[in-house]
Structure 1
Amino acid sequence: MQDNARPVEFARLLQDIWGDLQNPAVLWQIGALVGCLLLGWLIQRRALRRAAAAQGAEGQAYSAARRFGEHGMKRVIFPLSALLLVVMTRAVLVRYHNASLLDLAVPLLASLALIRFVVFTLRQAVGRSSWLGAFERVFASLAWLVVALHIVGWLPEVIEGLESVSVTLGSQKLSLWTLLLGTAMVMLTVLVAMWAGGALERRLAAAAGLDSNVRVVLTRVLRALLLVIAVLIALPMVGINLTTLSVFGGALGVGLGFGLQKIAANYVSGFILLLDRSLRIGNLIRVGNERGVVKEINTRYTVIRAANGVESIVPNETLVASVVQNETFTDSLVSLPLNFQVAYDADVEQAMRILETVAQLQPRVLQTPAPQAFLVDFGDNGINLRLSCWIGDPAAGTLGITSAINIEVWRRFKAEGIGIPFPQREVRLLPPLPELPLSAPVTTATPPSSAGDAQEVRKGGLAAPGGFA
C-alpha cells in the first residue's frame, strides 16, 4: 500500500506545482528557491575559504579521519545549507501561499547531499589515486539525475523511451536502456573489485618477508583478475548474453594482436622484470645511452632518473632484449678509474704514491679494496698512469669525486715539481728554393736501348724520370 501511495503523492505534488505555475504568486516560490540556492552557494564558498586559511595557518598534516571528515563536508555544505534554508523558508511561506515548488526541492536537495557523500565515500574506499576521483562529480550528477526522475515520477517514461531505441545483434536484442544499465552495473562491480584489490594490496604490503617485486606482480595480477570477473558478472545480470560479444571479442583480439604487438610485448616484459628480479627500485643501471637510478617499474615502462635530474621512460621490452649494465645488482661497489700523465723526467714512483695517498684521503673512497696506482704505458708526450679506487655510492655520481681527486693531485704534483706534459709542436720556416731559368734548351732523350737504364727528359733545367716530358 505504501508503494502505491508514494507515486500518487508525488503525482498530486506535481499537479499542485502545475497549478501554482498558473498563478503569478508562484514568483514568490521561485524567488525564495533561487535565494536559498544562492545563499547556500555563498555559505559553501565562505566555508571553503576559511578551511583553506585554517589549514595554511596550522601548517601541519591532518589525520586520516579529520581529512576524510573535512573533504566529505566540502561536498555536502551546499546541498545541506540550501536544504536548511528551503525548509525554513517553506515554513514561513506556507502561511501565505502554496509552497509546492519548495516541497519538491526538499527531497531533491536531500538526495543530492546523500549521493555526493556516498560517492565520496566510495572514492575513498577504492583509493585516493583512483580514476573515480576525476569523475566523481559526473557519477554523482548522473546518480542524482536518476533519483530526481524517480522523485518526480518521470523515470518510467524515460525508461520506456530508452527501451524503444534498440539494435539486434544475432539473437540478442540490445536496447539503449539495457546498455546504460549494463554500464552502470559494470561500474558498480568494478568499484567493488577495485575496493577488494585495494584491500588485498594493503594485506600484501603488510606481509613480512615478501619481495617488493613479487608484491607488485601479485597486486596487479589480482586486480586484473578481479576486474575481469566483475565485468563477467555484471553483464549477465542485466540480460546481456556474453556469447553475443564473442565474435566482436575475437575480431578485437586479432586486431590487437597485429596492431599492438609492441605494447603487448612491453607488458609481458614488465611482468618478466618483476618476476625474475633482475631490476629493483634504486638500482643504478645503464641501458644504451641512458644511465640513472631506477625509480619506477611499471607493467609497460620503467622510469630511470639520471644524475642531472632528467627522467627517462624506457620500454620494458628494451630492458629485456638488450644488454643492461646494473652497477648495483649484487652490491653497490663500483671501480672508478682515473688516468694521469707525467713527464719522462719525473719521479714515477713518487707520483704513484701521491695518487694513492690523495685517493685514500677522500671520504667517499673505500679503504678496502685499497686505492692502487699503475703505470699503463709510455705515451708520445709522457708516462701514462692510472689510479683505481672503489666507491660504495655510485648513485651519488662520480663527477664530484673525480674533480676533487684531480684538483688535489694537481696541487701535490705542483708542490713536488712533477710536471704534467702537454703536446708541443715545432714550426720551422725554410728558405725559398732558387729560381730556375726558363730559357734553357729542351732536350728529348730517345727511348732506352737496353733494360735497366732509364733515360731522362730535361725541360727548362728540370729532370723527370721515366722518359716522359
Structure 2
Amino acid sequence: MNPETTDPAGRGTWLMEAARRLAAEAADLGAMLVVPWNAWQVAIAAGLFALAWALRAAVAPGLHGWMRARSGWPRWRLRVLVLVHKRLRLIFYVLLLWATVWMMREITWPSRSWLLAILADLATAWLIVAFATRLIANGPLRRVVRYGAYAWVTLRILGLTDEAERLLGRAAIEFGEVRLSAWMVLQGAFLLALLFFVARVIARQSAARLYANEELSPSMRVLSVKLLQVGLYGAAFVIGLRAVGFDLTGLAVLSGAVGVGLGFGLQKVVSNLVSGVILLLDRSIKPGDVISIGETFGWINSLGARYVSITTRDGKEYLIPNEDLITGQVVNWSHSNDFVRLDIHFGTAYGNDPHTVRRVAREAAAGIDRVLEDRPPVCHITGFGDSAVNYVLRFWIRDPAGGITNIRGNVYLALWDAFQANGIAIPFPQREVRILEGSEIRTRRADA
C-alpha cells in the first residue's frame, strides 16, 4: 500500500513536490523559448498556421462544390471527402510544417528546426488519429477514443509518458483492498473503447451472416444475434477490466445489490426483457407477420429486447412492449399460413330471389383481384330481418399485409355495381307517420 495515498501529510508533500517540478519544467520551457532560434521557430509555426488557415479558406468552397457534384460515387468515398474537407486546415498545416523542416535542415543546422520537427510530429499524429477514429460509428465512444489518443500521442512524442504514468498512478482512491487510480481509469476507458469497437465490428459481421442464413427461422436469427451481441459486449467488458488489473471479485456483492434493485424497481423492464426472449423462443410472432393487438393492425418490422416495432397501413410505427404480446390477446394473421377469410354482411329486399342474390354476390366477389380462385367465395342466408333478408359473403385472401379494409371496400363496391345491374334492391328502414283525426297542425314560416 502506498503511504502517500493513505497519509494526508504524505499526500500533501507529494502534491507540493509535483507542483514544484511542474513549475520548474515550465520555467525551463520559457527559458528555451527565449533563445533566438527557438523564438524564430515559434514565430514560423504561428505564421504557417495562419497560412494554412488562409489556404483552407481559399480551397474549401471549391472542394465543397466539387464534392456535391460527385453524387454517383460510393458512400465510403464521399465520407472520406467529407473528412478531408473538415480537416483541410490541419492537412495544410502538416504539409507546410514538414516542407519548412526539410528546407531549414537543408539550409541551416538541424538543431535550429527541432521545435518545428516536434510540432510536425504532433500535427501528423493528430491528423492520423482524426482519420482513424472516424471508423468508430458511436459518437460518444469516438470522442473518448479520439481525445485519449490525442493525449497519449502528445505525451509519447514529448517523452512524458513515464512522468504522466507516475503522476496519474499516485492520484488514487482506495476502497478497502481495492485501489483505483486515475491511470487505471484512463487505461480501462481506452481498452474498453477499443474492445467495444472490435466487438461491434464482429457482431455486425456475424449478424449479417446470421440474417442471410435461410436455414434459421426469423425468430431464431434475431435471438442468435441478440445472444451474440450480449456475449461479445460482456466479454469485452470483463477482459478490459481484467487487463488493467481491476479485481472483479468485488463486483459480486454489487451484482447482488443490483439484482435486488432490478427485482423491485425495474420489474416492467425485466418483464419485457424476459418476454422478448420467450417470444423469440416460441416463435409465436416473427418479423414480417401481420398481427392485430387491440386497435393496432400492422406488420412486424423488428423484435427488440424491450419492445416490438409494428408499422400500420397509414405509416405509423407503434412500439408495443413485449409483455403486452405475452399477456394480451394477439391475432396473428400469418402465423402458420398467409390465408385469411373475411366476412361481409349485407341484406336485400324480400322481393328479390335469394338464389339470384347468392349467385350475383359470389360472382361479384370472385371478380376482385386479391380474392382467391382456388378457395371460391360462398354466400349464405343468415336470417330474415324486419325489412331485409340478411346474408353473409365469405371469401379468402393470402396477402393480409396488403390491407384488410381496402379489400372489404372493393368487395362492397363490386356488390353495389352487381346489384344495380341485376335489379337487386338494398332496403333501408322506412317510417310511416300518421296524423290522428282531430289533431291540430301548426306550421312556422322559415323566415319568421
How much does 1:403 deviate? 2.4
How much does 1:199 deviate? 3.8
Instruction: Tell me which amino acid in the other structure corresponds to 1:62.
Output: P
Instruction: Tell me which amino acid in the other structure corresponds to 1:360.
Output: A
Partner of 1:81: 92
- State yes or no: 1:240 paired with 2:246: yes
- State yes or no: 1:223 paired with 2:238: no
Please give the alpha-carbon distance, in whole angstroms, between the structure 2 residues aligned to 1:154 and 1:44. Answer: 37
What's the secondary structure of 2:69's corresponding residue?
Answer: helix
* Change beyond 3 A, Cα 1:263–1:324: same
1:333 to 331, 339, 344: 339
How much does 1:70 deviate? 4.9
Summarize deviations over 1:389-429 as a string: whole Å, max 9, x none. 11111111133332222223222322332221111222233
- State yes or no: 1:114 paired with 2:128: yes
2:275–2:322: 8 Å Cα contact kept in structure 1? yes
Partner of 1:447: none
Partner of 1:143: 149
2:368 to 362, 366, 385: 362
* Change beyond 3 A, Cα 1:21–1:364: farther
2:32–2:38: 8 Å Cα contact kept in structure 1? no
Instruction: Tell me which amino acid in the other structure corresponds to 2:309.
Output: V
Deviates more, 1:328-337 or 1:197-206: 197-206
1:29–1:99: 8 Å Cα contact kept in structure 2? no
What's the secondary structure of 1:364's corresponding residue?
Answer: coil
Summarize deviations over 1:177-210 as a string: whole Å, max 9, x none. 2222222222222223333333433443454522
How much does 1:104 deviate? 2.6
Please give the alpha-carbon distance, in whole angstroms, between the structure 1 residues aligned to 2:271 and 2:66. Answer: 49
TM-score normalised according to structure 1 size: 0.78
Partner of 1:253: 259
1:52 to 55, 62, 67: 67
Deviates more, 1:139-148 or 1:73-82: 73-82
* Change beyond 3 A, Cα 1:221–1:75: farther
What's the secondary structure of 2:371's corresponding residue?
Answer: coil
Partner of 1:287: 293
The list of structure 1 runs, each at least 4 consecutive aligned residues, that deviate by more than 6 angstroms after superposition, is 21-24
How much does 1:353 deviate? 1.3
Please give the alpha-carbon distance, in whole angstroms, between the structure 1 residues aligned to 2:353 and 2:210. Answer: 63
What's the secondary structure of 1:232's corresponding residue?
Answer: helix
Structure 2 residues without counterparts, runs of 5 or longer: 1-24, 441-448
TM-score normalised according to structure 2 size: 0.81
Please give the alpha-carbon distance, in whole angstroms, between the structure 2 residues aligned to 1:92 and 1:432. Answer: 124
Partner of 1:18: 33
Please identify which structure carries the higher helix content: 2
Please give the alpha-carbon distance, in whole angstroms, between the structure 2 residues aligned to 1:178 and 1:365. Answer: 69
2:348–2:389: 8 Å Cα contact kept in structure 1? yes
Partner of 1:445: none
Greater Cα radius of gyration, structure 1 or 2: 1
Please give the alpha-carbon distance, in whole angstroms, between the structure 2 residues aligned to 1:409 and 1:270. Answer: 44
Summarize deviations over 1:206-241 as a string: whole Å, max 9, x none. 545222321221222122112222222221222211
Instruction: Tell me which amino acid in the other structure corresponds to 1:83.
Output: V
1:75–1:117: 8 Å Cα contact kept in structure 2? no
How much does 1:260 deviate? 1.2
How much does 1:135 deviate? 4.0
Correspondences of 1:121-200 after superposition (within 5 Å): 121=135, 123=136, 130-131=137-138, 133=139, 135-200=141-206
2:145–2:190: 8 Å Cα contact kept in structure 1? no
How much does 1:37 deviate? 3.8
Instruction: Tell me which amino acid in the other structure corresponds to 1:422.
Output: F
Partner of 2:304: 298
2:53–2:89: 8 Å Cα contact kept in structure 1? no
Partner of 1:413: 419
Partner of 1:451: none
Instruction: Tell me which amino acid in the other structure corresponds to 1:358.
Output: A
Partner of 1:62: 74
Partner of 2:434: 428
Summarize deviations over 1:317-354 as a string: whole Å, max 9, x none. 11112221111111111112111111112222212211
Please give the alpha-carbon distance, in whole angstroms, between the structure 1 residues aligned to 2:114 and 2:49. Answer: 15
Aligned length: 412
How much does 1:83 deviate? 0.8
Please give the alpha-carbon distance, in whole angstroms, between the structure 1 residues aligned to 2:39 and 2:130. Answer: 35
How much does 1:280 deviate? 1.6
What's the secondary structure of 1:55's corresponding residue?
Answer: coil
1:33–1:102: 8 Å Cα contact kept in structure 2? no
* Change beyond 3 A, Cα 1:223–1:406: closer
Partner of 2:116: 102
Summarize deviations over 1:426-456 as a string: whole Å, max 9, x none. 223335689xxxxxxxxxxxxxxxxxxxxxx
2:378–2:395: 8 Å Cα contact kept in structure 1? yes
* Change beyond 3 A, Cα 1:234–1:398: closer
- State yes or no: 1:34 paired with 2:49: yes
How much does 1:25 deviate? 4.8
**Coordinate RMSD, CA, aligned:** 3.2
